[in-house]
Amino acid sequence: MAMDKRIYLCLAHMSESGMEQKYVKEAFDTNWVVPLGPNVNGFEKDLEDFVGQGKRVVALSSGTAAVHLALIGCGVQPGDEVLVQSFTFCASANPVTYLGAIPVFVDSEPGSWNKDPVLLEKAIVDRMEITGKKPKAIIPVALYGMPYDIHRIMEIANRYDIPVVEDAAEGFGSRVDGQVLGTFGRYGVLSFNGNKMITTSGGGALICPDEESWREVMFYATQAREAYPYYQHEHIGYNYRMSNVCAGIGRGQMTVLEDHIAHHHRMFELYSELLRSVEGITVHANPTDHYDSNFWLNTILLDPQLKVCGQESAYQHVVQGAVGGAGGVVHATAEAHTAHEPNANVEAMRVFLDAKGVEARPLWKPMHLQPVFKGCPAYVNGVSEALFKQGVCLPSGPCVSEEDAVYIVNAIKEAVL
């Protein structure tokens, strides 16, 4: 790999046929440059055909918006509690707070790294004893594309009559027993951000169980307007509908979705094969044959005893900007350390790969360790904290070639002392 090339974790990749440009051009040619139109309708139909199970889909401005509307659909009100997976990105928990509700964090099981069903039931029983009422919703997350134990989660949820909102933002195309994630619970959340399995440049979708819930979600997503010849509002609505231009990109991307999934699978096979001989490094794999992860991001664990070049000086320099390609503005910090951070060998590996032109990143920091959620109830077993200390995400997207994967693994091997 030429040193002037940088390998990113997961970037969007347009279809070779240029279908995205075709649909976007149609949007401009027909003047449908608004948050509705033929591309939006067509994209939603494509998504419905893909997920199956008779579900309806609403295309939205982001996956976070989809979580928000799903919680409204579940009847979440101020003061209610929602059981959120702790090991995840903040977009799963933040919408709970938008509604004045309280996130209750549940730790992970070792195999999938996702919500632990045993802790989930413990949390339900405990919250009912403490508050006198049931949590209003359960949000499992397909971390890095890996399926959660949806059959056990649904059995528990049904027993206590609590709706499930599946956050499959990272798991579009992942399956359990052949069924697409996002179609088991009451609602399913998808994301089409620029780093996901397919992209609309930004955007998301909500999978709805039936026509009635689909209409209700559509109502709130389009500013909650009543049927009068003037603007009458009796509910608070949101401007969450996807634009016709973005949906045109999505329609083109749907033509390469299966190719993208196959590519991520191939990256998993390559990393597993090339790193098999490296002692102290483990590639995360499907824990059971029932699971079929899309391997949105391939992840590895570094044994705490593994020595990596430069780890003696890890965290000695303050990071400038946000690690992980985040856009926008971040707050500068004068301190390199926090109370909870990855092991020194993980940070050293990230820095070493960065110097080689390879973007890598730690695993998500669990929500129950985040300062913004300090004081929220949490049911933990130490799994997510241990994974956070040891884990590294590796480039996996369609722009990452097999030659790139070899280069990345060789760099990892070079970093290990």
371: its two tokens: 């300062």
List CB contacts of 312: < 8 A, sequence separation 6 or more.
Answer: 344
Write the secondary structure of 339-377 as one string of H (helix), E (strand) and C (coil). Answer: CCCCCHHHHHHHHHHHHCCECCEECCCCHHHCHHHCCCC
Asked if residue 232 and residue 88 are part of one domain, the reply reads yes
Asked if residue 263 and residue 246 are part of one domain, the reply reads no
Rounded to an integer, the average pLDDT of 352-356 is: 96
What are the Cα distances from residue 60, in Å, to 16, 177, 217, 248? Answer: 26, 28, 10, 13
State pTM to two decimals.
0.95
Which of 229, 254, 279 represents a domain boundary (last residue)? 254
Does any domain span residue 14?
Answer: no
What CATH number should be reported for the domain holding residue 375? Answer: 3.90.1150.10
Does any domain span residue 7?
Answer: no
Does any domain span residue 6?
Answer: no
138: its two tokens: 């359960």
Cβ neighbours, 10 Å, residue 235: 11
Cβ neighbours, 10 Å, residue 64: 22
Does any domain span residue 3?
Answer: no
Does any domain span residue 1?
Answer: no
Which of 209, 237, 254 represents a domain boundary (last residue)? 254
List CB contacts of 124: < 8 A, sequence separation 6 or more.
Answer: 83, 134, 135, 156, 160, 162
Asked if residue 166 and residue 66 are part of one domain, the reply reads yes
The string of pLDDT tens digits covering residues 234-262 is 999 999 999 999 999 999 999 999 999 99
Asked if residue 342 and residue 247 are part of one domain, the reply reads no
Asked if residue 58 and residue 114 are part of one domain, the reply reads yes
- 330 — pLDDT class (breaks 50, 70, 90): confident
Does any domain span residue 359?
Answer: yes
Q: Could you tell me which residues are beta bridge partners of residue 191? A: 204
Print the domain residue range for 271: 257-415
Asked if residue 239 and residue 308 are part of one domain, the reply reads no
Asked if residue 238 and residue 130 are part of one domain, the reply reads yes
- 14 — pLDDT class (breaks 50, 70, 90): confident
Which of 195, 223, 254 represents a domain boundary (last residue)? 254
What CATH number should be reported for the domain holding residue 228? Answer: 3.40.640.10
227 — phi, psi (to 5°)? -85, 75
Q: How many separate domains does the chain show?
A: 2
Asked if residue 337 and residue 290 are part of one domain, the reply reads yes
Top-confidence range, 8-12, 294-298, 313-317, 326-330: 294-298
For residue 3, the model assigns a pLDDT of: 54
Asked if residue 242 and residue 123 are part of one domain, the reply reads yes
- The answer on pLDDT for 326 being more than 60 is no
Asked if residue 106 and residue 238 are part of one domain, the reply reads yes
Nearest to 164 by CA among 52, 84, 268: 84
Asked if residue 247 and residue 373 are part of one domain, the reply reads no
Asked if residue 304 and residue 174 are part of one domain, the reply reads no
The string of pLDDT tens digits covering residues 122-181 is 999 999 999 999 999 999 999 999 999 999 999 999 999 999 999 999 999 999 999 999
What are the Cα distances from residue 100, in Å, to 72, 103, 108, 410? Answer: 11, 10, 25, 49
Does any domain span residue 10?
Answer: no
Secondary structure class of 19 (helix, strand, coil): helix
d(CA 49, CA 384): 35
Does any domain span residue 202?
Answer: yes
Nearest to 245 by CA among 90, 18, 35: 35
For 171, the enclosing helix (H) or strand (E) is none
Nearest to 126 by CA among 362, 118, 298: 118
- The answer on pLDDT for 328 being more than 50 is yes
User: Sign of the CA dihedral 111, 292, 393, 182?
Assistant: negative
